Each structure stands twice: as C-alpha cells, then as structure tokens.
Amino acid sequence: MTTPSRPLKLIYIVGAGRSGSTVLDTVLGNHPDVVSVGELSNLHRSGWTNDEFCACGRPATTCEFWNAVRQHWSRLSADADVAEYLRLRDRLERFRGGSWLRTEAARLYRSADARRFLEQTGSLLEAIAAASGRRVIVDSSKTPLRVAWLARLPGVDLRLIHLVRDSRAVAWSRKKSLAKNVEAGVQHALAARPAWYSVLYWTVSNLLAARQRRRAGRRGVLVRYEDFVSDPVSELARIGAACDLDCNDLAVALAEGEPFAVGHTVAGNRLRMAGQIRLRADWEWVEQLPAADRRTCWNLSGWLLRQYDYPRQARAA
Ligand SMILES: [Zn+2]
C-alpha cells in the first residue's frame, strides 16, 4: 500500500435513522473537497452483493464510480473479499444482542478479525479517495457501534456529527410503511413500526452517539435536524468548525435555496434517488402524529428530549 500524500479525513454522521442524514450528507458532499458516499457500512451488502441502485440511476455493479472504488480496493488490499468483509462487519458493527458489550470488550480490538476489518476498511476509504480525487469523505451510516472502529483507523482524521431529530418526528416517519420499489430507492418493503419501538431505538442510538461525541471532544458536534433546516448558515458554521472545513460557499448556496446534487450513494433514504435535493423543513408529525403516540413518545423519551431542548408542546418553526 502506497503512503498517501495528505491525511484522509472522515466525517461520520452518527445518530438514529430517519434523522435527516441524507440531506446533511448531500449538502456536505457538494463541497469541492468532499466526497459523500451515503451509508458506507451497507455498501458491501446493498451495492456489491445485492446490486441495488446507486443514486446515479445505475445498478451498483455498473456504476463507474463504485467499479473504480472496487478496483482500487482490490489493489490496496490484495486479499479483500466482499463476502468476508460482510461477515466481519456483521460480527463487529451491527447492533444485535450483546454486540455493544462485545464491541466494548478490549480483547475484541486485538483479535485477528478486528485487524482484518480495520485494514480493509482503511483500504476502502483510500480507494474512495483515489476514485473521487478527494480526501474528505462523508459517511452517513449513523450506527454508533461503527465509531469505535473508525476511531481506530491509522492515518484517518475522524470527525463526528451527532445528528439528532425530535423522537416524535422519527416515530412518525417510522409509522408509515413503504412498499418495495427498487428503482425509487426503497430496497426492501419497510414495515410500519409502533411509536414505542421507534422511541426505544432512538433513545439507545442517541445515548451511544452522545458518548462517542463526548469522546471526540472538539472534533465532534451535536446538530439538531430542526436547527439545520431552519438556520443552515449557523449550523454549517458549527459543523465547519468541528470538521476544519470551510463551509461558507455551501451556506451561501443553501441560503439562496439552490438544489444540491446527490453523489454516488447506494444505501440510504429514498430521497437520494431524485438526483438532487433542496433543504425543506418537514414538520408533518406536528399535525399528523396521533395524540396517543405523542404521549408514548414523551413518556418514554421526554427526559432525553429535554436534554436536547425539545419542548413538550412542539410547533412548526
Ligand atoms: Zn453511481
């Protein structure tokens, strides 16, 4: 493996799903130094195993960008193999019974599996940098367990954006089922989830994300989705400070309501398949979430919502 000329910076969006990360990821991906790759943790399954659609409109195995990444990856990590990488990722990174405790166990970090996973993940990031010609990568996988691994990658300058959205908005988003429509970016039918389930998932994800953000110190930042859509200029300034990235031009474009092009992303929200997105506040839950669900959300997560300065009686901004 050749030594890269400049250090590689990885901006990782961590938090619960349905928090608006596709929008943030796309905006940052329009910075001239940045390549945004969506939920990188799912690339090997969604893209290279299931051949799902990339946001460029092609199945992943015929997308020029991902083919170039795969070639670079094979060159940098001679024995890299998609099936083996998936096995390692599923063992080390997925949120399943006991996985958090396993990830916290020091001996796991010294295991042969961990070394292989780190080596191949580092090579993958270098491959993305080589294929894109950019050395700042945005990964919006969100899963907090992934942070522990990314932080151990040698030569990678990790920055964290902990993106949080009101749990009632997340519960409303997950109450709506989506039928499978591969070309529209819905890879599997998404079942509607009850509010209590979504709120428990939101709570655990944000507690773990906050822990990682605190560890990151000034290289991490907490961003509320609601603040980002209502005052993107201020929030981009905070993000830019934590990531050492000049986001002024992005802020100007956002303030002028310009559309933002979506990069080559193979996993993530269906919004990405439109090719471009505009920043738009989504306050649907305030009108639509049934009162019983609203009570459930507040009873289970009000204590944490308060910590993030969400009021009990929310109104659209
Ligand atoms: Zn593509």
Residue 82 domain flag: yes
Q: How far is the CA of 33 from the centre of ligand 1 (A)?
A: 18
Residue range 26-40: average pLDDT? 95
Residue 60's domain comprises 8-307
- Rounded (5°) CA angle 64-273-270: 125
Task: Yes or no: say if 131 and 76 are a contact pair by the CB < 8 Å rule.
Answer: no
C-alpha span between 284 and 172 (Å, rounded): 8
Give me the mean pLDDT over the 280-291 stretch.
87
- Answer whether residue 259 is part of any domain: yes
Express each pLDDT in 245-284 by its tens digit.
Answer: 999 999 999 888 888 888 898 876 666 777 777 777 788 8
pLDDT at 141 over 90: yes
Give the count of domains, the chain.
1
What's the 263 CA to ligand 1 centre distance in angstroms? 7
The verdict on residue 78 lying in a domain is yes
What distance in angstroms lies between residue 268's CA and the mean position of ligand 1's atoms?
Answer: 13
> At 306, is the pLDDT very low, low, confident or very high (cuts 50, 70, 90)?
very high
Question: How many whole angstroms separate alpha carbon 261 and alpha carbon 238?
Answer: 22
In a domain, 126, yes or no: yes
CA of residue 89 to ligand 1 center, whole Å: 23
Mean pLDDT in residue range 177-202: 77
Q: What is the average per-residue pLDDT within 179-195? A: 71
Q: What is the pLDDT of residue 259?
A: 87
Residue 21 has pLDDT above 50, yes or no: yes
pLDDT at position 1:
46
Ligand 1 mean position, distance from CA 52 (Å): 10
Average pLDDT over all residues of the chain:
88
pLDDT of residue 313: 87
Q: Let me know if residue 313 belongs to a domain.
A: no
Per-residue model confidence (pLDDT) at position 211: 95
Which band of pLDDT confidence, cut at 50, 70 and 90, is reported for residue 172?
very high
Quote the ligand 1 centre to 185 CA distance (angstroms). Answer: 13
Distance 76 CA to ligand 1 centre (A): 21
Domain membership flag for residue 139: yes
> Residue 34 pLDDT > 80, yes or no?
yes
pLDDT at position 80: 87
Q: What was the pLDDT predicted at 271?
A: 67
Distance from Cα 136 to the centre of ligand 1, integer Å: 18
Range in 152-156, 185-189, 227-231 the model is least confident about = 185-189
In a domain? residue 45 = yes
CA of 53 to the centre of ligand 1 (A): 8
Taking the C-alpha atoms of residue 17 and residue 173, their distance in angstroms, rounded to an integer, is 10
Domain containing residue 145: CATH number: 3.40.50.300
Mean pLDDT value across residues 20-33: 93
CA distance 266 to 57: 10
The residue that leads in pLDDT, 177 or 171, is 171
252 alpha carbon to ligand 1 midpoint, in Å?
27
* Cα-to-centroid distance, 48 and ligand 1 (Å): 12
Q: In angstroms, what is the span from residue 66 Cα to ligand 1's centroid? A: 6
Average pLDDT over residues 292-314: 95
Q: What is the pLDDT of residue 263?
A: 87
Q: What is the pLDDT of residues 67-115, one digit of tens each?
A: 999 999 999 998 889 999 999 998 888 765 555 566 556 667 778 888 9
How far apart are the C-alpha atoms of 214 and 226, rounded to whole Å?
A: 21
Reply yes or no on whether the pLDDT at 48 is more than 80.
yes
**Cβ proximity of 120 and 19 under 8 Å:** no
- 315 is a domain residue: no
pTM (2 decimals)? 0.91
